[in-house]
Structure 1
């Protein structure tokens, strides 16, 4: 029995995404002066749109077949932008864009943490009997 339904799982997946995005942005910033380095990005919307567009409902017809539900696919992908070059050394990291993305991601991450804390505080209130 789950007290929160899928809320905690959704928050956990969202925190994983925000953490991966933060790591990717930090990697881009640290390689801003590396020759021929190409910026990476974490995409969530593309995976979501592909999932929503398709009407995919797999069915396992034999116990020897691979189970569709056993593996958890990442809800995001990491892509490399190879189509642009901003610097004379072949690098395409735009430091201003990366710093903006970092600030937005930090706000998003903090909002998720606050929401998760609220859920656990609600549970704690129930356990204490409303006190």
Structure 2
């Protein structure tokens, strides 16, 4: 029996993704002036997530097992193009924009997670506030 719904697990994965993306963006910003530094980017690994979703919805244990290549819902991607003469490809404006977008995404997920836990708390209290 599952205590938490799959939506809470999905929110948790989203928060983990946002945290990893924040770390990569911060690393890029910190190395904006480092010669030959190549920016890193976190991308979602939808194939793995899709396979896990299919496996989670098997109706019989005799059904075929789904194989997976990795256990991560997101992956690191190194980009190789260069913006500046020193071989660095970090565009500070893009990084700051990505950071702001990721922050909004993170706070949205946290707000949704908070709402889920408030609903559970309300159920535990028997609907009494």
Task: State the alpha-carbon separation in 2 of the partners of residues 37 and 76 from structure 1.
Answer: 22
Alignment CA distance shift 1:58-1:17 (3 Å) = farther
Q: Which runs of 4+ in 1 moved over 6 A?
A: none
Task: State the alpha-carbon separation in 1 of the partners of residues 31 and 95 from structure 2.
Answer: 11
- Structure 1: stretches of 5+ with no match in the other structure: 61-67
Task: State the superposition RMSD in angstroms.
Answer: 2.8
Task: State the alpha-carbon separation in 1 of the partners of residues 28 and 2 from structure 2.
Answer: 39
The aligned counterpart of 1:34 is 34
Alignment CA distance shift 1:126-1:79 (3 Å) = same
Correspondence 1:23-102 to 2 at 5 A? 23-44=23-44, 47-48=45-46, 59=65, 73-82=71-80, 84-102=81-99
Aligned-residue offset at 1:129: 1.2
The aligned counterpart of 1:63 is none
Aligned-residue offset at 1:74: 0.6
1:112 alignment partner, one of 106, 109, 113? 109
Aligned-residue offset at 1:90: 0.6
